[in-house]
């Protein structure tokens, strides 16, 4: 549960609250190539504020950050409309203003995968047998 990132870090897992805190402190999406927010249907305070902050930063900056919202049960069209908006800024002509689209990608339901549970005492036996 300690902050363990460096300049060579490629992927960082954060709770919704920690990501929200980091973005608010940074005041931009700079440094983030992708943000994946899972279980957005849960609609707690952190998730709602995170979506608000991410949307604001997407609209007010020229970032190339890709944002993925994931859920099995949320209204994708409603969230798509929320994020589908023009960028705000000093553009000479309204027609030249970039527009951020929010495509919806649906994944077909498949068969669940088998889950294997390993405990630490089993890992030594697995390594001895040649791997997992």
The answer to whether residue 11 sits within a structural domain is no
User: What is the reported pTM?
Assistant: 0.66
The answer to whether residue 7 sits within a structural domain is no
The answer to whether residue 121 sits within a structural domain is yes
Question: CA-based diameter of the chain, in Å?
Answer: 67
The answer to whether residue 56 sits within a structural domain is yes
Residue 2 has which token pair?
A: 């300690």
Local confidence band at 127 (pLDDT 50, 70, 90 cut-offs) = low
Local confidence band at 92 (pLDDT 50, 70, 90 cut-offs) = low
- In the chain, the number of structural domains is 1
List, as one string, the DSSP characters of 30-57. Answer: TT-SEEEEE-GGG--HHHHHHHHHHHHH
The answer to whether residue 53 sits within a structural domain is yes
Local confidence band at 21 (pLDDT 50, 70, 90 cut-offs) = very high
The pLDDT tens digits of the residues spanning 59-89 come to: 877 778 888 888 888 788 888 777 776 666 6
- The average pLDDT across 116-126 equals 73
Local confidence band at 49 (pLDDT 50, 70, 90 cut-offs) = very high
Instruction: For 84-100, give one letter per residue: b (16+ CB within 10 A) or e.
Output: eeeeeeeeeeeeeeeee
């Amino acid at each position: 549960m300690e902050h363990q990132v460096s300049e060579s870090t490629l992927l960082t897992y954060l709770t919704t609250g920690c990501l929200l805190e980091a973005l608010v402190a940074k005041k931009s999406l700079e440094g983030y190539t992708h943000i994946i927010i899972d279980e957005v249907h849960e609609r707690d305070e952190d998730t709602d504020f995170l979506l608000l902050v991410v949307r604001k930063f997407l609209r007010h900056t020229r970032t190339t950050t890709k944002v993925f919202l994931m859920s099995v049960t949320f209204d994708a069209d409603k969230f798509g409309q929320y994020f589908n908006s023009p960028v705000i800024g000093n553009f000479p002509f309204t027609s030249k203003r970039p527009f951020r689209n929010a495509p919806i990608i649906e994944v077909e339901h498949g068969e669940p995968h088998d889950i294997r549970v390993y405990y630490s005492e089993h890992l030594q036996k697995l390594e001895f047998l040649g791997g997992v």
